[in-house]
Structure formats: structure tokens, C-alpha cells
Amino acid sequence: MPELPEVETIVRGLREPLVGRQFTGLRVGWENLIARPRPELAEGPPVEEFERGLVGRRILGVKRRGKYLIFALSGGGSLIIHLRMTGRLLITNSDDELDKHDHLIFELDDGRELRFNNVRKLGRVYLVDDEDEIVGKLGPEPLDDDFTPADFAALISARRGKIKPLLLNQRFMAGVGNIYADEALFAARIHPERKADSFTTGEIERLYYAIRQVLRQGIENRGTTFSAYRDAEGREGRNQEVLQVSRNTDQPCPRCGTLIERTVVGGRGTYFCPRCQK
Ligand SMILES: [Zn+2]
């Protein structure tokens, strides 16, 4: 699933082609991608309400919050997109050949299109008056300037569970997923099953800086492509080339040479070095 660095890369790639553009039409191949307006509250078919609410509006800005993309619209309100497992957002010309997984196509006033390609159809699209309806409960952004080591320490010390599932909990902190959690825990030399209330001050600080470092590196490398992820122009990321533990089972640890192991923590495949992560 795209995580913070992948979504950030897509957002940066969408700003130039999209800001100032107007939505002129919508083609819907799989209407269950549309999660707002809520079907149960819509006056008519939710797809029609979505289209009525969107067409004619201009895109004033594109930003990221956690793993969500948020498009601010003229007249107020926002279009919000979550890519989930296999979602891609691509800018294309209107006469470019369609892919059979282009399930939602936003037509733009410059003749181009924003296509939401979704092999597994798990992505979600929301049209809301207030973005907080969707992203209001997310935890802090780990790369925000005003998110300090002390803030992170306060978050951790209020928790008791295992650290890896906590890092994946979007209400704890927004944007980190399976790959960057494993990489940050490796960089901080912390075992993924350590309990949050067992951390020393030094370990908390190490983890804080490790999270920020692996996320920044991910953005610099334009995201990690193991399979589905592409940026807004359809290009793969390069961060998979520098990952230290993810999917490196039975490869030597870059720090100590011990073979990297895979285990399952909180239901998620987890890679770590059994020797240098305590
Ligand atoms: Zn090691």
C-alpha cells in the first residue's frame, strides 16, 4: 500500500497539472469507489450526487494528510482520495488508451484526465464539505516541523501495546505503513514486538529520528515500488534499492551480518534483524 512517501510523491506530481484546472466531466466504471456522499444519506443515486457536486468546480490546491490525497475545491469542500492496496492516480490525455482498471475518470478543462486506476477496487473517493469528516481523527504528521521528540515521547508513553502495530495505527501517527515501520525500527535498533511502555528516553529519541529519516529518504527516492506503486506520471520509485530489511529474508543484516528474519506482528509480515534489534 502506498505510504506517506509514495502519497507525497504523487501529490507533488499532481500539483502542477491540476491546480487551477476545472472538472468538466466524470466517467464511473466502478461506483463502489465512491464512499461519500454516503449512499444511505444521498437523496438520489450517490454517483449522481457526487458528479453534481464535483463537475464545474476548480482545484485550488492538492495536499497530503497521512495516506490521503486532498483536493481543495472552489466553492468550498474537498475531494479526498485514498489509494489503498493498488490504487494509482495518473494524468493522461483524453485520447490515451484506457486501461481496464481505470475505474474512475475525472475529465479536466484542458483536455486531460485524472484517472483512478484500481486493480483491486479497494480505493476510496470522498466528496465532503469538511475534510475533517475523513481525516480529522488521524494522528500527527511525523514530518511536520512542529512535531518534536517530546511530542513523540508523550504519544509513546501513553501506550502499552507492541511498537510495530502502534506505528501502523493511523490515529497514533499518520502516514507510516508496513515498509517504513520495519525500516524505522531497524534503523533505531528496536525489536518490532517491544512494548511501548518499555522504552528508554534514548530509544524513543532514536526511533523518532529514524522514522523521520526513513520517510524523508523515501520521498527523496520518489517512493518504494515493490509492485503496484507508480507516481502521477506512471514511473516507479527507487527507494526499494536502499531498503535495509523489507523483503530481505535470509539476506545478511547490513549492520551485523546476521540473516534477516521474517515474522508476523499484529497480522503483518515483519522483517527485522534478530541480533541488533532488541
Ligand atoms: Zn543486525
As given in the structure block, the three cell numbers for residue 130 are 469538511
Active site residue 5: no
Spatial CA neighbour of 59 closest among 123, 11, 7, 5: 11
Active site residue 3: yes
Separation of CA 259 and ligand 1 centre (Å): 8
b/e map of 147-164 (b: 16 or more CB within 10 Å)? beeeebbebbeeeeebbb
- pLDDT mean for each 10 residues of the chain (278 residues): 96 98 96 84 79 97 98 97 94 95 97 95 94 98 97 95 98 98 98 97 97 98 94 95 94 97 97 97
Separation of CA 167 and ligand 1 centre (Å): 21
Separation of CA 150 and ligand 1 centre (Å): 28
Indicate which residue of 21, 36, 57, 67 is catalytic.
67
Indicate which residue of 12, 58, 216, 268 is catalytic.
268
Separation of CA 252 and ligand 1 centre (Å): 8
Active site residue 254: no
Separation of CA 276 and ligand 1 centre (Å): 4
Do 111 and 119 form a contact (C-beta atoms < 8 A)?
no
Separation of CA 260 and ligand 1 centre (Å): 8
Instruction: Say what the pLDDT of residue 85 is.
Output: 87
Instruction: Say what the pLDDT of residue 217 is.
Output: 98
Question: 29: which residues sit within 8 A by CB, 6+ positions away?
Answer: 102, 103, 104, 105
Report pTM: 0.96
Separation of CA 143 and ligand 1 centre (Å): 27
Spatial CA neighbour of 180 closest among 7, 60, 16: 7
Separation of CA 244 and ligand 1 centre (Å): 10
CA distance 141 to 146: 9
CA distance 225 to 67: 16
